[in-house]
Chains A and B, each alone.
Chain A
Amino acid sequence: MNFEAIIGLEIHVEMKTKSKMFSAAPNSFSRTPNSEVALLDMAYPGTMPVVNKQAVINAIRVANALHMTIDHELRFDRKNYFYSDLPKGFQITQQFRPIGSNGYLEIKTREGGTKRVEIERIHMEEDTCKQLHLLDYTLLDYNRAGVPLVEIVSRPDIRNGTEAMRYVEAIRNIVVYSLTSDGKMEEGSLRCDVNVSLRPYGQKAFGTKVEIKNINSLKNIEAALDYEILRQNSLLLSGQKVQQETRRFDEATGRTVLMRVKTDAVDYKYFPEPNIVPIRLSDEFVQNAIDTCPELYDAKKAKYLAKGLSETDAEIILSDLAMATYFEKGLSLVKNPKGLANFVIVEVNGYLNKNGISINEFGLSAENLAKIANLQEEGFTHKQCADIFNHCLANNVTPEEAQKALNIQKQVVDEGAVLEAVTAVLDANPQSIADFKNGKDRAKGFLVGQVMKASKGKLNPAAVAKVLEEELKKR
């Protein structure tokens, strides 16, 4: 029997606002535990929640990017449960009236087509405190309690691990480029829970679903799901039942591991939050949030492609928001965007990796990199430009200063001058011409080297190679 996998995802995104969702405590990742809490976050009696404007703006922007219907009336609800990660005994969320509903996202399928994944809802809520479970006790740090979250819930439209990975990647691009969140899965600012069940092809009813929690990278989403689908498949084929349970992905073995078997669903006794009256968002407010949204990933990618970058190059630059911002600073200053992209991808990335630093700590301004990229357009070789690049970084000087210090001059591409030098070298090396004619390709390289040596590196090697090729044919 053949089975079809039914996959739905719940994604929690931590917003990078300045303050928390309902209190004015700072929302900045602090290493000092319990140093960023307000009375409300600790649930002191008499404190009241007040909704953060920027969190609402962010949620509207994400909802809009996901083609959702936006509710112009904000309502919040209480999700009640008793656990140490939540001092109030309830979490404020939007159970009954999510800010966004009925959206979609288009992703590329494994087969190369595109597919629409429908999104049920996006709502705002507050994060819980961080619990550190040690051998025989637990420590609580309330810095994270109250951090604004958006939760994005897909419909069960996804069919395999690759689609799930691409869906999460697309969501991550939206939250990162709208400046809603860092979107870092490995640091927990984007967290992903996956539901997966199998059913025979053609059957309408869903099978028993398994939840996989807290997968910490895009690659692991794909790996976890592909493993879990195989696991359920072999259970069903051998006549066994899939249990309703929560599992986690073990990176070392590439398998999902049982965490707990689910019994009855917990009743959270949701009810409307009495401390926040309904908030009316004006049409202007909603429209302004949308209109002022920073340029998103897809728009930037289209822009880069239109400027002549390859899809791969555009994706490499866009894989890091700071890198894309740096690239765009130089973009309007260069003659050839692709040349600048090459410098960013090869030289800049190489330097960052070698020195273990981020683009934010990089010592050469985008304006100066643009100058170097332009030198190449003016006839300087890539090697010369790379030397200037490295000299700038090593000595903290401008490209002009580096060029002067290294005495780098534009190479001669004038065909007359090149021809003269090539003819002289050919005349002096009849043996190499004979070798070349006998099929020794290496002789050509030797001759180019001789010309470059004779000209003390002033001739352009590409021009030399071209002229030499033509002249060899004539002999």
Chain B
Amino acid sequence: MKEISLEVLQDAAHRLMFELSDEELKTLYEEFQTLKKQMETIGKIEGVDEAEPMTFPFACENSFLREDVAETPLDRDEALKNAGNVQDGQIKLPKVVG
């Protein structure tokens, strides 16, 4: 596993396009160290490598499927309300392909 160092966290923040102050970086680093210790503790449990990963907290399933009935869609103005820029009823973006 990749070692979580201050540099790794700094790089991740940079890639996600936000700035971290030194204090925030230190807090985050310490949280990761705690996490790492917890993982090490869990790793010591006998047979843990054979345990299947769980996607849901409980092993549950249902058999519900929605009937194929169309309902009234969102009002168009309502649907576009959050868009920064609208043209001809469509959301306008800077060109996304070259």
Contacts and interface: CB of A to CB of B under 8 A. Distances in A.
Given A84-B96, A280-B61, A53 B67 contact: yes
A1 interface: no
B55 A34 contact: no
B36 interface: no
A51 interface: yes
B88 A54 contact: no
Contacts of B65: 51-53, 56, 279
A50 B66 contact: yes
Interface stretch (B3-11, B21-29, B39-47, B74-82): B74-82
Interface in A278-333: 278-282, 285
B91 to A, nearest CB: 4
B68 A137 contact: no
A108 to B, nearest CB: 35
Contact of A281 (B63, B73, B93): B63
Contact of B61 (A18, A34, A139, A277): A277
Given A133-B95, A277-B61, A53 B90 contact: no
Nearest to A25: B73
Contacts of A132: 90
B18 interface: no
Given A279-B62, A279-B63, A281-B63, A134 B68 contact: no
Interface stretch (A35-43, A233-241, A367-375, A420-428): A35-43
B93 A25 contact: no
Given A19-B68, A26-B70, A54-B68, A277 B60 contact: yes
Contacts of B76: 32, 34-35
Interface string A246-289: 00000000000000000000000001101001111110010000
A387 B33 CA distance: 90
Nearest to A39: B74
B1 interface: no
A141 B91 CA distance: 7
Contacts of A379: none
Nearest to B58: A277
A243 interface: no
B3 to A, nearest CB: 20
Given A50-B66, A274-B55, A279-B61, A25 B71 contact: yes
Interface string A127-139: 0000111111111
Nearest to A28: B70
A17 interface: yes
A34 B65 CA distance: 26
A24 interface: yes
A34 B70 contact: no
A138 B95 CA distance: 5
A27 B68 CA distance: 10
A33 B93 contact: no
Which of B68, B76, B93 gathers the greatest number of chain A CB atoms within 10 Å? Answer: B68
B63 A24 contact: no
Nearest to B63: A280
A55 interface: yes
B14 interface: no
A261 B55 CA distance: 36
A208 B79 CA distance: 45
Contact of A42 (B56, B60, B79, B94): B79
A169 interface: no
B97 interface: yes
Contacts of B71: 19, 24-26, 38
Contact of A139 (B56, B67, B79, B91): B91
Contacts of A352: none
B56 A73 contact: no
A137 to B, nearest CB: 5
A405 interface: no
B51 interface: no
B79 A34 contact: yes
Given A272-B55, A274-B56, A19 B70 contact: yes
Nearest to A73: B61
B48 interface: no
Contacts of A389: none
Nearest to B66: A50
11 contacts: A19-B68, A26-B71, A33-B89, A36-B73, A39-B74, A42-B74, A55-B68, A83-B96, A138-B94, A140-B91, A280-B62
Given A36-B73, A53-B66, 19 more contacts: A18-B70, A25-B74, A32-B89, A33-B89, A34-B76, A35-B76, A37-B79, A38-B73, A42-B74, A42-B82, A51-B66, A132-B90, A133-B97, A136-B94, A137-B92, A138-B93, A139-B87, A271-B55, A280-B63
Interface of A: 17-19, 24-28, 32-39, 42, 50-56, 73, 83-84, 131-142, 271-272, 274, 277-282, 285
